[in-house]
Structure 1
Amino acid sequence: MSADPRELTRRERAAIRRLVTGTCANYDPEYGCLPLNCACYMLNKWWTGEYCKYFQKAVLPLDPLLEATLTGRKAPELDNCAICGKPFIPEGKQAYCSPACADTARRKRQREYMRRRRTDC
């Protein structure tokens, strides 16, 4: 993946651990890596280089910033959600990170619109 091997930072190792324990379908806390029937290779990873193929193809794309730092690619541009402030990757003219935030913003605009309309009468 990355051209020159380097030691993973503490934040990168924590992000890998969070992805493996939270979203990897091959990981079980009691048994470790289910297909290999041993401890998970990614939990003890300290250097860049070879990664678990399943982790690389299915789990790592869930965190685009981590993927960019580990692969050496350009990090995607992030916007902050106007409602909750969380960073997200916008698709087109998307201004909110989730449909829930979009609904909250719509309700807020609607309240303001009705407030102005009532005062004009």
Structure 2
Amino acid sequence: MSRELTREEKAAIRKLVTSMCANYDRGYGCLPLDCECYMLGKCYTGALCRYFREAVLPLDPALEAALCSEGPPPDFKPCPVCGGPVPMDGRQAYCSQRCAQAARRRQKRDFMRKTRSRTVDN
């Protein structure tokens, strides 16, 4: 069952195709097809360009989850460290292990500063 793409999803697809797709050329369109890129005129989820689906779409995990899942687009919350998409389906708080480590370092640093300031005041 396909659904209509939202304005934000269409904009994200256009941005990915024009900036990251190796088959896209501004002057010629889609190089293997010698016509306008199929993904630029996409209005519904469903069939995607194979190269776009396998090579370009993984660069935007939120868009990939929205296009490849059935039903309404999934909800995402922003990562508190970098602002990237974090799925709201479980206990995951950060978008990657790198952001989780950065947040933990920041928490430890703040705790140690607080502890040091207490010992200096006494």
What's the TM-score, normalizing by structure 1?
Answer: 0.64
C-alpha distance in 1, partners of 2:115/2:47? 60
C-alpha distance in 2, partners of 1:61/1:25? 14
Alignment of 1:35 with 2:32, yes or no, is yes
1:48 counterpart (45, 50, 68)? 45
Segments of 5+ residues of structure 2 without an aligned counterpart are none
C-alpha distance in 2, partners of 1:87/1:80? 5
Q: CA RMSD in A?
A: 3.4
Flag the 1:28–1:50 CA change in 2: closer, same or farther, 3 A: same
Give the SS at the match of 2:81.
coil
Structure 1, residues 60-89: CA drift from partner, whole Å, max 9, x if none? 233333333333347677554233444335
The match for 1:63 is 60
Please identify, of 94-103 and 56-65, the stretch whose mean Cα deviation from structure 2 is larger.
Answer: 94-103
What's the TM-score, normalizing by structure 2?
Answer: 0.63
2:7 counterpart (10, 19, 37)? 10
Kindly state the Cα deviation for residue 113 of structure 1 after the two structures are TM-superposed: 0.8
The match for 1:116 is 115
Asked if the contact 2:4/2:43 (under 8 Å) is kept, the reply is yes
Structure 1, residues 13-66: CA drift from partner, whole Å, max 9, x if none? 112111211221211223221222322111122233322111122222333333
Flag the 1:62–1:76 CA change in 2: closer, same or farther, 3 A: farther
Alignment of 1:72 with 2:69, yes or no, is yes
Letter in 2 for 1:38: C
Give the SS at the match of 1:36.
coil
Asked if the contact 1:84/1:101 (under 8 Å) is kept, the reply is no
Flag the 1:86–1:63 CA change in 2: closer, same or farther, 3 A: closer
Segments of 5+ residues of structure 1 without an aligned counterpart are none
Give the SS at the match of 1:48.
coil
The match for 2:105 is 106
Alignment of 1:87 with 2:102, yes or no, is no
Asked if the contact 2:62/2:76 (under 8 Å) is kept, the reply is no
